[in-house]
């Protein structure tokens, strides 16, 4: 009996791959890897339908963040990350993925078709990215004061380019401080908006809560003693001031900051940016590097303009990451695939 329907997708085990089952069963198994992808506020805004040897990926806009992400830009990037995880898993198990992005102009929620293509031996990189799926975490704790090897940074830049996006690497101290200032300014604007604080609190839970999505308080670097009151604390102005200071320290104290950019700023570009982000995060995890997000200047429209000016670019910043060496952190919860799987099209 194959273990396809897991309560916790983090428990998926490679040796359970149903090698001799139908493509439909194999794809359902592989979706356990897709849902381990990162997503904004851990909203997991994806739905899948498996039809024969094809997976349809849909945006689940009921999980949108109207304040932090009014255009669903990060929602679509999150789906792009899940799409990349799925492709990595397909390649690892010896199949070439055949992907069509936004295949139906009349259905903007249908983000991709992914077919389990013909057999193809996996490369060493395919295996490494696959192993990184279970290792990768967003790590919001302070990083060590230790430089990241240049060769790894270049490789990450190439990884992002491979997916059609671009990377700006910010290492020099004065530049990091300038970027940290933009982050702090955007943080101040965002956290002074009670609607923003309320939205964040709605997706934040005490770690012992049974929720299969959202952010455990501990994952946000907040102490668990806040207990069930945590989300209330998040809504207060006092918390907001502390958060600005914490983010600035994290930005200044990290050996490298990265800005991921695209040439365009529309759903196709966001989907590609999500794939590029995911390749970068998996490759970084494979190198033993930790990463977390400091996206505030991209989420506040006026600050995004300032950020583009600071970068002296016509391109569109999609994500800001900090990179370095951090202490281990626990995984965040995931919904089982039963909850994200749609039934056949006409049912």
* One of 137, 176, 197, 322 touching ligand FMN (CB under 6 A): 137
Provide the minimum distance between the beta carbon of 343 and ligand FMN in the complex, in angstroms, as a whole number: 27
State in angstroms the smallest separation of the CB of 73 from ligand FMN: 8
Q: How far is CA 193 from CA 199, 211, 236, 237, 296, in A?
A: 10, 26, 10, 9, 13
Contact predicate 89/34, CB 8 Å: yes
How far, CA to CA in Å, does 63 sit from each of 2, 46, 69? 31, 9, 11
Q: Minimum CB separation from ligand FMN for residue 117, in Å?
A: 26
Q: Which is nearer to ligand FMN, 30 or 81 (CB)?
A: 81
Given the rule CB under 6 A, which of 10-18, 34-42, 51-59, 232-240 is the region that contacts ligand FMN?
34-42
Question: Which region among 168-176, 231-239, 290-298, 337-345 touches ligand FMN (by CB under 6 A)?
Answer: 290-298
For tokens 């965002």, the residue is: 190
Q: What is the dihedral of CA 47, 51, 52, 55, to 10 degrees?
A: -30
Q: How far is the CB of 41 from ligand FMN (least distance, A)?
A: 5
C-alpha to C-alpha distances, 58 to 49, 50, 158, nearest whole angstrom: 8, 11, 28
The piece of 1-9, 59-67, 70-78, 225-233 that touches ligand FMN (CB under 6 A) is 70-78
Q: Which is nearer to ligand FMN, 26 or 43 (CB)?
A: 43
- Contact between 81 and ligand FMN by CB under 6 A: the answer reads yes
Residue 45 binds ligand FMN (CB under 6 A):
no
Among the listed ranges 33-41, 52-60, 186-194, 222-230, the one in contact with ligand FMN (CB under 6 A) is: 33-41
**Burial annotation 280-303 (CB, 10 A radius, 16+ → b, else e):** bbbbbbbbebbbbbbbbbbbbeeb
90 binds ligand FMN per the rule CB under 6 A:
no
What is the C-alpha to C-alpha distance for residues 229 and 46, in angstroms, rounded to an integer? 29
Residue recorded with tokens 């930790």: 290
Q: Does 138 bind ligand FMN (CB under 6 A)?
A: yes
- Residues that bind ligand FMN (rule: CB under 6 A) add up to a total of 17
Residue from the set 38, 45, 230, 297 that interacts with ligand FMN by CB under 6 A: 38
Please provide the size of the chain in residues.
347
The DSSP bridge partners found for residue 46 are 59
189 and 299 Cβ atoms separated by less than 8 Å: no
Decide if 207 contacts 217 (C-beta within 8 A): yes
Residues from 292 through 321 that contact ligand FMN (CB under 6 A): 292-293, 295
Integer Cα distance of 337 and 216 in angstroms: 20
Which window, 35-43, 161-169, 170-178, 231-239, contacts ligand FMN (CB under 6 A)? 35-43
Positions touching ligand FMN (CB under 6 A) are 38-42, 74, 77-78, 81, 137-138, 140, 215, 292-293, 295, 332
């Amino acid at each position: 009996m194959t273990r396809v329907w897991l309560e916790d997708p983090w428990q998926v085990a490679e040796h359970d791959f149903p090698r001799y089952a139908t493509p439909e069963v194999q794809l359902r198994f592989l979706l356990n890897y897709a849902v381990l992808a990162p997503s904004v506020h851990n909203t997991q805004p994806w739905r899948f339908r498996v039809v024969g040897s094809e997976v349809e990926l849909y945006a689940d806009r009921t999980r949108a963040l109207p304040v932090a992400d009014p255009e669903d830009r990060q929602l679509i990037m999150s789906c792009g990350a899940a799409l990349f995880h799925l492709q990595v898993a397909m390649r690892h198990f010896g199949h070439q993925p055949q992907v069509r992005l936004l295949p139906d102009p009349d259905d903007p929620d249908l983000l991709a078709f992914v077919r389990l293509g013909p057999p193809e031996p996996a490369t060493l990189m395919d295996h490494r990215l696959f192993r990184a799926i279970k290792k990768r975490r967003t790590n919001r704790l302070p990083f060590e004061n230790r430089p990241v090897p240049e060769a790894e940074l270049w490789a990450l830049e190439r990884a992002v380019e491979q997916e059609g996006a671009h990377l700006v690497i910010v290492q020099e101290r004065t530049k990091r401080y300038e970027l940290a200032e933009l982050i702090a300014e955007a943080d101040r604007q965002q956290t002074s908006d009670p609607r923003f604080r309320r939205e964040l609190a709605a997706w934040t839970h005490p770690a012992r809560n049974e929720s299969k999505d959202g952010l455990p308080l501990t994952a946000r670097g907040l102490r668990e003693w806040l207990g069930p009151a945590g989300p209330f604390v998040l809504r207060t102005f006092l918390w907001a001031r502390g958060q600005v200071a914490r983010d600035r320290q994290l930005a200044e104290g990290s050996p490298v900051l990265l800005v991921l950019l695209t040439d365009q700023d529309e759903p196709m570009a966001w989907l590609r940016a999500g794939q590029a982000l995911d390749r970068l995060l998996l490759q970084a995890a494979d190198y033993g590097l930790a990463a977390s997000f400091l996206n505030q200047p991209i989420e506040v429209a006026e600050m995004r303009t300032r950020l583009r000016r600071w970068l002296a670019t016509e391109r569109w910043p999609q994500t800001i990451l900090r990179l370095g060496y951090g202490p281990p952190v626990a995984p965040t919860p995931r919904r089982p695939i039963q909850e994200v799987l749609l039934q056949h099209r006409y049912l």
